[in-house]
Amino acid sequence: MSVLELKNVYKAYKLENKDTFTALSDINVTFDKGELVSIVGESGSGKSTLMNLIGGLDSDYTGTINVSGHDLKDFKDKELDDYRKKKIGFVFQSFNLIPHLSVLDNVTIGLTLSNEKEGIKNQKAIEILTKLGLKDQIKKKPTQLSGGQKQRVAIARALINDPDIILADEPTGALDSGTSHQILDILKEIADGGKLVIMVTHSEKVASVSSRIVEISDGRIVRDNKNNDYKKIINTTLLNNSKSIYTLKNNHLNNSTYSFLSADADTNTKQVQQEKKNEASKGHLSFLSAIKLSIHNMWASKIKNILMSIGVSISLISMILMLSFGSGLTGYISDQAADFSNPTIITLSKSGKDRDGNKLTSSDNSDINAITRRAFSDAEIKEVSDDINNYLADKTDFKIIYDQNDENKNVSYGFSVPAFTMGTISYTSPKENEDGELEELSTPILYLYTTPPYYTEKKLLTPDGHLCKENEIMLSAAAAQFFGVKELDDCVGKEVNLNITFDKYHIRLPVTVSAIVDVSVFSSAMIMYIDYDFLDSRIKMEQAKENDEQTGIVPTLLFIETETKDNKDLIEDYIKEYRKDLSGSVEEQLVKMFTEMLNTFSIALTVIAGISLAVAMIMILVVMYMSVSERTKEIGVLKSIGARKKDIKLIFSTESFLVGVLSGIAAIILTLLIGGILILIFNSILGFAPLRMLWYYFVEAFGLSIVISVIAGLYPASKAAKLDPVESLRRE
């Protein structure tokens, strides 16, 4: 059986306007191992088309191509890839070496695609390269080689998998005559070693040294001559060119060392099938090899890749910084609030939600902000206290005692009025106007609170002041600024008129400012404090005037003195877990309000970060896409060597993966740098840095970097995988 048999092969190219162009017709020819066949014919006669069909690069033909008894038409895509990898070696006129890989890596690429071990791979390649006189060139890049050397590297690459058939399309077309001879001699040696070598050539002179000349004209075979003097010619040529191919000549004398040329072109079908099985079980391009290939390629265009990574990292940096600012600010505020509240007093208020945490619906929260809604009734105080006591029963000896007549009571009441939802609060004081006349000026207050039980003199910013009692109020620094005094202490003792309106009651009473309170993080908020019993008695007076029931103020806050921090933590756990209808202290509520504002702000910033990530993705996509079109030829070469679609996809996806890794690393380093500088600046200006760079922001950004890069690279990678090898190889 012959190695290669073509029967009635007919090939037509489809043209754009549904026409077809017949490139080959009626091709009937057989080839045997050991033959060195020259295909001659004018340009455009169909030589390359024939080679592509034999090489399994083009499956769009009619007729049969039998290789060692197997019809190529029966091969599935996978088997065809394997066929190109194991049975065929391609040599091209323009060498088609991969420019960013070393000579050694160019030769081993065929084995890399089979996931061969590094050691075996290199050993095989060095053996062949040594025989081709390239031992000293293995570390060079293709651009550092002469034409003849390049073609010898290409031949080494074709031989690495010990194929049965070598297809060389004008292998000497780009070489001078001396170098051409070298290459011819090598091809002859290969044929002599038992392989089938089919070579396309323009030169009759080159053709004349082959064992057989097949001439094609207009897609038909018009001549098929065997050269009976072939063996004689081999010997003379070798002797004539003794200067250029010492190594080969020496080896030729001792045929036994010619392992790489003595192809085992066995035609025994069973054995071939066995081989096919073995090969199928062999490995494919590994992720590690793909990474190595990608690193080589990325290194070759490092500026482009570095710029792209910096571009991507900018959006990641802004993302990390945004998150860090968000948590830095909220963290700062809640830290301040924690400092502010007492470690053994827990504050409870109504949260406006039900026990499961669902917001009360509009029908039942129409008056949610009304005092009565926010107030704890006696029954509710009893229920909450009993529930907490049940929860605490088996955990601690501490018990809540809410009965206000019990001298051991540990629950006290508080009351708050957020002015903007429940009424209006202001104080008026006589102040000089522009014309120098005294005028009553009104200062609106945002929040009115009864003084919490944990407030001590330490909370006061004014050493001369004291906690407010009857007929007195305390103010936050912001609320006091309207006195227009230089020192806060000057506010103490000022007499003002307090105006409170809520529900249907209007209270107007003269009071004295007893102190300015440190509200730390909320120092810019307009807050007023008043004594609970004082306010209660004034409301009762008001209710008496209106002939209403004298209920006084109802508690909207419960303060529980927990004795120990552990008890406080236990109760807080219970509230968090089971009582979504309750929330914490005023400070906690203010923190919540601030955090909500910050969150809204953060969402806006996140959207911006998201947009910049999308831009980064598009940038990666464009760059990868351009890279694919730049490397079309390389893709064609890889396919001719037997790379599967998956392998090509893996190579390009790995590259976008590496872009992600690089961008992620750049983002981490730059964020640490920029963040560090920002922290220094903030510390020197504000005395604190509202920037909390948590480690998992970096992990998230790194992961995101990889995810967006890989996703952006998917389309270019699959585009590359789908490229038609024949067209890619024709690309100049």
Partner whose footprint covers residue 49, from Mg ion, ligand ADP, none (CB < 5 to 8 Å by kind) = ligand ADP
Q: How many whole angstroms separate alpha carbon 468 and alpha carbon 339?
A: 22
CA dist 42 → 36, 176, 731 (Å): 20, 20, 20
Q: Which two tokens stand for residue 621?
A: 């996509």
**Could you say which of 33, 47, 131, 639 contacts ligand ADP (CB under 6 A)?**
47
The stretch among 46-54, 56-64, 268-276, 648-656 that binds ligand ADP (CB under 6 A) is: 46-54
Closest CA to 330 of 576, 573, 599, 526: 599
Work out whether 321 is an interface residue with ligand ADP (CB under 6 A). no
Q: How many whole angstroms separate alpha carbon 570 and alpha carbon 392?
A: 8
Element (H, E) at 428: strand 423-432
How many residues in the shown chain lie near ligand ADP by CB under 6 A?
A: 12
Give 218 or 533: the residue with its C-beta nearer to ligand ADP.
Answer: 218
The least distance separating ligand ADP from the CB of residue 50, rounded to whole angstroms, comes to 7
Q: How many whole angstroms separate alpha carbon 334 and alpha carbon 66?
A: 79
DSSP for residue 197: E
Work out whether 23 is an interface residue with ligand ADP (CB under 6 A). yes
Work out whether 49 is an interface residue with ligand ADP (CB under 6 A). yes
**Inter-residue contact 340 to 587 (CB < 8 Å):** yes
Partner whose footprint covers residue 143, from Mg ion, ligand ADP, none (CB < 5 to 8 Å by kind) = none
Work out whether 43 is an interface residue with ligand ADP (CB under 6 A). yes
Q: How many whole angstroms separate alpha carbon 726 and alpha carbon 729?
A: 5
Work out whether 410 is an interface residue with Mg ion (CB under 5 A). no
Partner whose footprint covers residue 303, from ligand ADP, Mg ion, none (CB < 5 to 8 Å by kind) = none
Work out whether 21 is an interface residue with ligand ADP (CB under 6 A). yes
Q: Diameter of the chain by CA atoms?
A: 134
How many residues in the shown chain lie near Mg ion by CB under 5 A?
A: 1
Q: Which two tokens stand for residue 592?
A: 């919540």
The least distance separating Mg ion from the CB of residue 50, rounded to whole angstroms, comes to 9
DSSP for residue 353: B
The least distance separating ligand ADP from the CB of residue 730, rounded to whole angstroms, comes to 7
The stretch among 15-23, 336-344, 462-470, 609-617 that binds ligand ADP (CB under 6 A) is: 15-23
Work out whether 48 is an interface residue with Mg ion (CB under 5 A). yes
**Could you say which of 1, 26, 44, 304 contacts ligand ADP (CB under 6 A)?**
44
The least distance separating ligand ADP from the CB of residue 154, rounded to whole angstroms, comes to 18
Work out whether 41 is an interface residue with ligand ADP (CB under 6 A). yes
Q: How many whole angstroms separate alpha carbon 180 and alpha carbon 172?
A: 5
3-state DSSP assignment of residue 529: strand
Would strands 527-530 and 447-450 be described as parallel, antiparallel, or unpaired?
Answer: parallel
**Could you say which of 10, 13, 258, 454 contacts ligand ADP (CB under 6 A)?**
13
Work out whether 45 is an interface residue with ligand ADP (CB under 6 A). yes
DSSP for residue 451: P
**Which residues, in sequence order, are CB contacts of 616 under 8 Å at separation 6+?**
311, 312, 314, 315, 316, 663, 708
Work out whether 297 is an interface residue with Mg ion (CB under 5 A). no
CA dist 532 → 259, 425, 450 (Å): 103, 16, 5
Give 207 or 411: the residue with its C-beta nearer to ligand ADP.
Answer: 207
Work out whether 327 is an interface residue with ligand ADP (CB under 6 A). no
**Could you say which of 5, 35, 46, 68 contacts ligand ADP (CB under 6 A)?**
46
Partner whose footprint covers residue 21, from Mg ion, ligand ADP, none (CB < 5 to 8 Å by kind) = ligand ADP
Would strands 495-502 and 438-444 be described as parallel, antiparallel, or unpaired?
Answer: unpaired
Give 62 or 404: the residue with its C-beta nearer to ligand ADP.
Answer: 62
The least distance separating ligand ADP from the CB of residue 650, rounded to whole angstroms, comes to 27
DSSP for residue 482: G
Phi, psi (deg, nearest 5) at residue 680: -60, -45
The stretch among 40-48, 361-369, 629-637, 685-693 that binds ligand ADP (CB under 6 A) is: 40-48
3-state DSSP assignment of residue 404: coil
For binding to ligand ADP (CB under 6 A), which residues are involved? Answer: 13, 15, 21, 23, 41, 43-49
For binding to Mg ion (CB under 5 A), which residues are involved? Answer: 48
